[in-house]
Amino acid sequence: MNAGEIVRVEGLAKEFRSGLGLRRKRAVDGISFSVREGEIFGFVGPNGAGKTTTLKLLMGLIRPTAGSATILGHDVGETAFRRHVGFLPENPYFYEYLTGREILGFYARLSGVPGRRIRERVETLLAWVGLEHAGDARLRTYSKGMLQRVGIAQALVHDPSVVFLDEPMSGLDPIGRKEIRDLVLRLHGEGKTVFMNTHILSDVEMLCDRVAIIVKGAIRYEGPIAEFLHSDERKADVVLARVSLELAAGLDARWGPLTGRGEHVELHVDEKAIHDVLAQALDGRAEVVSVTPRGASLESIFLSAVREGGDAGPGGPP
Amino acid sequence: MISPVGIAVISANTVREAVRSRVLYTLLFFAVLLIGTGVLLSTLTYVERERILQSVGLAAIRLFGAAIAIFVGIGLIHREVERRTIYTILSKPISRCEFLLGKYLGLVATIWIQLVIMGLAFVAVSWLAGAPLTHQIGLALGLAAVELAVIVAFATLFSAFTTPMLAALFTTGLYVLGHLSRDLRDLGARSDDGGVRLVATALYRVLPDLESFNLTTQALHALPVSGHEVGLALLYGAGYCGALLALAVVVFDRRDFK
């Protein structure tokens, strides 16, 4: 393991067998990547690409067919080092007969938090995830968003140095997603390493330092997110209202095809040109409805990786 | 190395789950009801009333104890995998072996707590009816506890790799066979055919001999029970549980949680 590497994956493969072992599906096909200390690493891919299978391999929930993986220098088959690891599975499930406080106490004890510190950690984590008011209610009464927060809290209750999150924004409303984003940034600020499985590119752009794109079980790209963000290819969608015919013709001629959406018109322009577009629109007495940056480069790399993966490579998980 | 702390945390939580389960209270209620019913049954006869009362009571304890052990045991591990609660647990510093042993010991503790409650009901009914409370009854209840630990070990093994339905089928089948294995051995011994004798002996060696834990006759008739007999039964039970749990750990350790 190189200095500063928290996670190292080399030639990791997983084959699932079904139908009495006669049918085989290779969900992960000899992938290699590394995660460095203190970074937020985005593991990106479409549904069924092998993201969750990879995470389960890292968590020791499934055994690899080939290859190796280490976390903090320990083989993932070991147990003791997990006191430094936090894990949030996708759509987490918990013992419904326990209360929020009880479940966090249970995980704290399992993680080896000293008895005298358990109460303090539980209360801190409940406050962190905004569940202090519901700490004494049984989990069967919790909403999906509240369970996701319990999931985050249990992943952090033992103050791990590296945290693995599988689709952490899954099923959350916009406020919940924002809170999780803030939490991830807070963990980053505390120097923790975060590994995040997701298929939401905007989250990746907003949060991650580096990214790996996995398609059909194979890594198609791995690199720093900054390369995308400083790319010249970034685009933005500009939506305008009250556009006169004269202005529409001018915008169309200068900035490319104008598309209509009810009373609104939309332009897809380079990010560098936004200022000029808006100036022309406002001069023409149009109303600016919205300006939405598009992660064109990450999106385009992602899409081209998915398209390439469609031509070759193994199948997704069973 | 196995950590007792992880095992204790999982065990304690398994007991807590049982304590909060209404189904177990219902089963326990019916068990206590059946023990009490012995009073009614004993009024149907003028002779040996106390013996009938205690016979029904001990039978109820053994039967309901086994029913509860099978009913809860068959889903013990499967439920954790199916509901995916195992994902977050195994991501903590606890091995699969510790998890499985914790679940097993937690369920055994639960079943033994229920055995104590049923035993207390039995003692109360016997006392009210004026039936003798001999030390053999205590030994019979003690060995019933060991038998239940063996049944839970079977249920845990099956629950580690198959569905509750199949686990129930296998465990119940072995429970019934376990009480017939001595008859099978005796049947083989009486046969003139060497092959039959060999098969019967082999089956007896593999199948559990649950009658080793049955001291009902000695308890009801206050017959002497040797320490040697009890010691052998305890050793046999411990060895059988150990072997079943070792097998369960091997099976469980190789599983993928998809």
CATH fold, domain A5-229+298-311, is Rossmann fold (3.40.50)
For residue A171, give the 3-state DSSP assignment.
Answer: coil
Q: Indicate the range of B38-47, B83-92, B208-217 predicted with least confidence.
A: B38-47
The DSSP call for residue A65 is S
So what's the pLDDT on residue A203? 85
Mutation target among A61, A81, A138 for the B interface, most CBs of B within 10 A: A61
This complex has an ipTM of 0.88
Amino acid identity of residue A7, one-letter, is V
A 3-62: CB under 8 A from B: 16, 56, 59-62
Cβ burial A182-199 (10 Å sphere, 16+ → b, else e): ebbeebbeeebbbbbbbb
d(CA B65, CA A215): 53
Residues in A closer than 8 angstroms to B254, CB to CB, are 63
Class of the A235-294 domain? alpha beta
Cβ atoms of A206 and A168 within 8 Å: the answer is: no
Q: Where are the domains of chain A?
A: 5-229+298-311, 235-294
Residues in A closer than 8 angstroms to B92, CB to CB, are 82-83, 107, 110-111, 158
Strands A23-36 and A193-198: unpaired
Q: Give tens-digit pLDDT for B14-68.
A: 999 988 888 788 888 888 888 888 777 777 777 778 888 888 899 999 999 999 9
Residues in B closer than 8 angstroms to A112, CB to CB, are 5, 93
Structure tokens at B92: 């903590």
Pairs of CB atoms within 8 A across A/B: 83
The DSSP call for residue A64 is -
Structure tokens at B127: 């006392």
Q: List, in sequence order, every beta strand (DSSP E) within A233-304.
A: 235-241, 259-261, 264-270, 287-294
What lies within 8 Å, CB to CB, of A81 at 6+ separation is A71, A72, A74, B93
For residue B25, give the 3-state DSSP assignment.
Answer: helix
Structure tokens at B182: 């001595």
Contact B92 A63 (CB under 8 A): no
Amino acid identity of residue A203, one-letter, is D
Strands A74-75 and A193-198: unpaired
Residue in A closest to B95 by C-alpha: A79
Cβ atoms of A296 and A4 within 8 Å: the answer is: no
Residues in A closer than 8 angstroms to B21, CB to CB, are 97
d(CA A12, CA A67): 4
So what's the pLDDT on residue A248? 87
- Please report, in tens digits, the pLDDT of each residue of chain A (318 residues total): 566 899 999 999 999 987 777 788 889 999 999 999 999 999 998 888 899 999 999 999 999 999 999 999 999 999 999 999 999 998 889 999 999 999 999 999 999 999 899 999 999 999 988 899 999 999 999 988 899 999 999 999 999 999 999 999 877 788 888 888 898 999 999 999 999 998 888 888 889 999 999 999 999 888 888 776 665 567 788 999 988 888 888 888 888 788 876 678 888 888 888 899 999 999 989 999 888 877 556 777 777 777 776 654 444 333
Residues in B closer than 8 angstroms to A63, CB to CB, are 254, 256
Interval B211-223 mean pLDDT: 91
Instruction: Tell which phi-psi region holds residue B132, choosing left (phi > 0), alpha (psi between -120 and 50) or beta.
Output: beta
Q: Where are the domains of chain B?
A: 4-253
A 230-289: CB under 8 A from B: none
Mutation target among B81, B87, B100 for the A interface, most CBs of A within 10 A: B87
Contact A94 B16 (CB under 8 A): no
Residues in B closer than 8 angstroms to A106, CB to CB, are 9, 13
d(CA A235, CA A271): 5
Structure tokens at A88: 């949030």
So what's the pLDDT on residue A297? 64
So what's the pLDDT on residue A138? 95
In Å, how far from its chain's centre is CA A281?
36
